[in-house]
């Protein structure tokens, strides 16, 4: 009996280790149903202002200006309050950096809606990490360049 339990545990461990890379890859890719062009909900799909989403990046555009942000990490269950069972999906950009943009799909529990939120410049004095964050966010200047911060977005047909 003990040998059987030991073999079972070993088998479970091998399966978990084998699955780990694919689970990790899933956390670094935006799900396919969210790929495509997103524009302000009140705008026509031909709008010159919006967001393009692919598996590994979120690109903001406003006329000829654009900014592509990669380093995607999908938020896990710890992002939401305990017991959350909604449909929102959250993607963070430059996850191992300053995370200048957070995208929420199915925003407000509304299927097909999205929002992007830009990281703000923090006020006050800080340490090296604080200063690096502010330098990156200031350099990107997303809120000034792209009028999309917390604006409801809709997905357009391809």
Residue 62 shares a structural domain with residue 15: no
Whether 55 and 71 have beta carbons less than 8 Å apart is answered as no
Residue 9 shares a structural domain with residue 52: no
Q: Identify the pLDDT of residue 114.
A: 98
Per-residue pLDDT of the chain (158 residues; tens, 9 = 90+): 555 444 434 333 334 434 434 344 447 899 999 999 999 999 999 999 999 999 999 999 999 999 999 999 999 888 999 999 999 999 999 998 899 999 999 999 999 999 999 999 999 988 999 999 999 999 999 999 999 999 999 999 86
Q: How many domains does the chain have?
A: 2
Residue 62 shares a structural domain with residue 124: yes
Residue 88 shares a structural domain with residue 39: yes
Residue 100 shares a structural domain with residue 57: yes
Whether 63 and 108 have beta carbons less than 8 Å apart is answered as no
Q: Identify the pLDDT of residue 18.
A: 40
The candidate with the shortest Cα–Cα distance to 105, out of 97, 95, 117, 96, is 117
Domain that holds residue 112: 31-155
Q: Could you tell me the end-to-end alpha-carbon distance of the chain, in angstroms, rounded to an integer?
A: 58
Residue 119 shares a structural domain with residue 94: yes
Residue 18 shares a structural domain with residue 54: no
């Amino acid at each position: 009996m003990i040998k059987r339990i030991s073999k079972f545990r070993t088998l479970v461990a091998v399966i978990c280790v084998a699955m780990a890379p694919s689970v990790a890859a899933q956390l670094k890719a935006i799900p396919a149903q969210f790929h495509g062009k997103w524009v302000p909900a009140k705008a026509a799909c031909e709008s010159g202002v919006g967001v393009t989403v692919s598996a590994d990046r979120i690109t903001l555009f406003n006329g000829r200006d654009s900014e592509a942000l990669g380093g995607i990490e999908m938020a896990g269950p710890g992002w939401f309050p305990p017991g959350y069972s909604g449909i929102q999906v959250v993607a963070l950009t430059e996850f191992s950096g300053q995370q200048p943009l957070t995208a929420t799909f199915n925003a407000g529990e509304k299927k097909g809606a999205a929002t992007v939120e830009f990281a703000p410049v923090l006020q006050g004095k800080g340490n090296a990490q604080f200063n690096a964050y502010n330098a990156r966010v200031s350099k990107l200047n997303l809120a000034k360049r792209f009028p999309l911060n917390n604006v409801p977005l809709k997905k357009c047909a391809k």
